[in-house]
Amino acid sequence: MDTLQHLQTEARNPASDRLDELTSLEFVELMGREDAAVPAAVVAIKVAIAQAIEVVADRLGRGGRLIYCGAGTSGRLGVLDASECPPTFQTNPDQVVGLIAGGPGAMFKAVEGAEDSPRLGEIDLEAVHLTANDVVCGIATSGRTPYVIGAVRYARKLGAFTLGLVCTPDSELEKEVDLCLAPVVGPEVLTGSTRLKAGTATKLVLNTLTTGAMVRLGKTFGNLMVDLKATNTKLVARANRIVRTVTEADAATAEKLLTQCSGEVKTAIVAHIAGVDGFQARVKLAECGGRIKPALAAFGRSQVTAARTAERPSRSDLVLGIDGGGSNTVCLLAKRDSGEVIGRGLSGPSNIQSVGVSTALDALNQGIDRAFQGASLPRAKAAAICLGLAGVDRQEGLDVIHGWAARENVADSVIVSNDATLLLAAGTPDGWGLAVIAGTGSIAFVRKPTGEIGRCGGWGHLLGDEGSAYRIALAALRAACRSFDGIGPKTALIDALVKKMSLPAAPDFIPAVYRGPWDRAAIAGLAPLVLELAGTDAIAAEIVRTEATDLARTAAGAVTANGLSKTGLPVALAGGLLTNSEPFREQFLAGLRAEGVQPGPVKLVTEPAAGAVVLARRK
């Protein structure tokens, strides 16, 4: 019986059914049209690839390895990707490993029958001494290769994290791994020849996976390949060029730096900018996990030279407003007199507590750069900047931000505020009242007319965050588990969550949450599903009601504890739950009234950075 006939990778492509009758030009055009669909198939699974990058970076950062297992073309592509990591990122050759069914000789000549043995997959992993700290990525475009299936089963038995890379939907391999990457490219031009579109998709995914993980591990500086190993004339020239690009030194100086620093690009960069010798630079880099920016920050230097920042012109007619947190940073560039926003910049997270000082400051710089770019203006020193930043409540955090602003010549006047002040500036008539945030986490702030600020909640996902997306989704998962065990009421949450999380069944919640990609942020992303089901499912409705009530109790607590009037209180609401879900918002406001707080004007704030602009203009 033909067990392959149902596979999409084995199907006939109607576009090429006259393949043997085409001219060479027609053939090339056909191949081009078919191959053009491959990148879109890879982008379609971007969330899963991003989750895989995070897992691989985490395991590599803790001393684990990434091990590819495949047969034929799939195995060769895994070996190829692994072999390119040491010269590109100066990784240990044992850090990313490629295993191919039939052993190294199968790279050049097919070893018949090797892929048909699950036991050979186990044996190859035993030979490299697989541990629970490793990641095993099984590559099989058909999703059924026995060698790969055997390898991932053995890996899961040892507790290693398992990835699958396939090019067909609903494959056998998908059921065997913690996370499956499945770019579906459709039938090949030459029926069954998966070295074509499937091979291209596989290479694209592997490129993205290892490059993304290495970037997360600090192997790059911006988009420069600073951890390369200069093993030939081309790479020696590239190393010199990278040093010159970052340090603005000439070629001779860069060559001398590299010689003094044993050819290490990162060491040469840090030594030159920080004004230290190669040994000191190397030690500091080691202390900072090999990352250039934290090493420079530890020496009190920025990667942007003083000469370049000093050249910035002053624009007394412009102000900057920044809203920065643990997810992203928004920067608005506005006219000082009218408040008109003329440029907007979006960058990564800038919470110094969660992402570190260097990453946070880079995000602030990128946000400002992009805001000026959006206004088609060169970056300049503004009249004032207001930064509403998470993670800078203590004096040491404020010192970091003010020090950065001074070094970068950001603005004449610098205000560092908190989330509440921004929301109230953007969402209340006079900048005082109650501000409530309910997104991934939650917190309630108040500000008196006299300027004093108070808060309630904000204890984080382990101790608080009532009424947050994470709390709602976690409660739903718990209810689904109790229902599955028969000790809780029946609920549609089980099937809905299983489907949304792309899991085979409810018991797979365990590996997905404890060993898989479903971290706090990903779990919080399930909250909209629970809100949707609340209209028809009693358990979902009870969860939403409970969390909205708890959030209202927290908000009322902030009002009461700080002595604000409970009647006609201006209220500003922010965060995805409150701004995007009218039913949840109405339940929250009803709960607030039940606690004795009668809101006055209520405004939804979707752009807190607008409040920062208001405060910068006032300054």
Told to judge if 84 belongs to the known catalytic residues of this protein, a careful annotator would answer yes
The three-point CA angle 441-444-450 to 5° equals 150
Of these residues, 84, 532, 542, 607, which one is catalytic? 84
Helix (H) or strand (E) holding 605: none
Q: What are phi and psi of 571, to 5 degrees?
A: -130, 130
Are 68 and 78 a contacting pair, CB within 8 Å? yes
Determine the Cα–Cα distance for residues 338 and 318; give it in Å rounded to an integer.
10
Are 274 and 296 a contacting pair, CB within 8 Å? yes
Tell me, letter by letter, the H, E, C secondary structure of 407-420.
HCCCEEEEEEECHH
Determine the Cα–Cα distance for residues 490 and 483; give it in Å rounded to an integer.
5
Determine the Cα–Cα distance for residues 151 and 131; give it in Å rounded to an integer.
13
Told to judge if 115 belongs to the known catalytic residues of this protein, a careful annotator would answer yes
Determine the Cα–Cα distance for residues 510 and 514; give it in Å rounded to an integer.
6
Range 233-237, long-range pairs (CB < 8 A, 24+ positions): 235/87, 236/263
Of these residues, 115, 176, 188, 264, which one is catalytic? 115
Query: CA–CA distance from 342 to each of 333, 338, 423, 427, 444 (Å)?
Result: 6, 11, 21, 20, 31
Query: CA–CA distance from 201 to each of 6, 49, 359, 480, 570 (Å)?
Result: 20, 12, 32, 36, 54
Query: CA–CA distance from 264 to each of 72, 210, 220, 231, 289 (Å)?
Result: 37, 21, 13, 12, 15
472: its two tokens: 């709602």
Determine the Cα–Cα distance for residues 517 and 523; give it in Å rounded to an integer.
9
Residue 574 Rama label (left phi>0; alpha psi -120 to 50; beta): beta
Q: Give the catalytic positions in this structure.
A: 84, 115
